[in-house]
Amino acid sequence: MTAEILNKARKYCTYQERSQQELRDKLYELGLYKKDVEQVIAAMVEEGYLNEERFAIAYAGGKFRVKQWGKVKIKLALKQKRVSDYCVKKALAQIPDKDYEDALQKVIAAQSKKITEKNILKKNYKIAQYVIGKGFEPDLVWDVITNI
C-alpha cells in the first residue's frame, strides 16, 4: 500500500461523501488487490475520511431535497451502495415528517398541472404512478390524492 494510493483515496473521499463500496470500486479500478483495498478502506475509516453513517445521511438528505425522491427510492439507492440497514434507518429518520408530506403534496400538485387527462380516475392513476415512481409510499400517495 503506497502513499500515492492513500493520497488518491483521500482526494476521492474529500471531494464528496463516499460509501465504502464506492471507494472499494474505485480502488479496484486502480488495479489494487483485495487485501490492499481493505487496508486502504480501514485507513480511510480510521482517519475519518470515510464514514458510512455520515454518507447515508448526506445522500438521503440530498436526494430528498434536490431530486424530491421518496423514502422508498432513497432506501433502494442506499441498499445498492451496500450501506448497512442501521445507517439507512438513521438516514431516513433524518428527513422530517412535515417536510416529507409537504414535498409529497408539492410533487403531486406539480404533476397534476402537467397531466391533461379529462377523466379524473385516469388522471389520478397517472399522477399516482409518477409519484410512486419517485419513491413515495403508495398508501401515502393515494391518501393525499383522494383528499385533494
Query: What pLDDT does 60 receive?
Result: 96
pTM: 0.89
Query: What pLDDT does 142 receive?
Result: 94
Query: What pLDDT does 135 receive?
Result: 96
- The CA distances from residue 138 to 12, 71, 72, 134, 142, in Å, are 37, 11, 10, 11, 6
Query: What pLDDT does 1 receive?
Result: 56
118-131 pLDDT, tens per residue? 999 999 999 999 99
Please say whether the structural domain 3-50 has been given the CATH code 2.60.40.
no
Query: What pLDDT does 131 receive?
Result: 96
Low-confidence ranges of the chain (pLDDT < 70): 1
For 142, residues 6+ apart whose C-beta sits below 8 A from its C-beta are 128
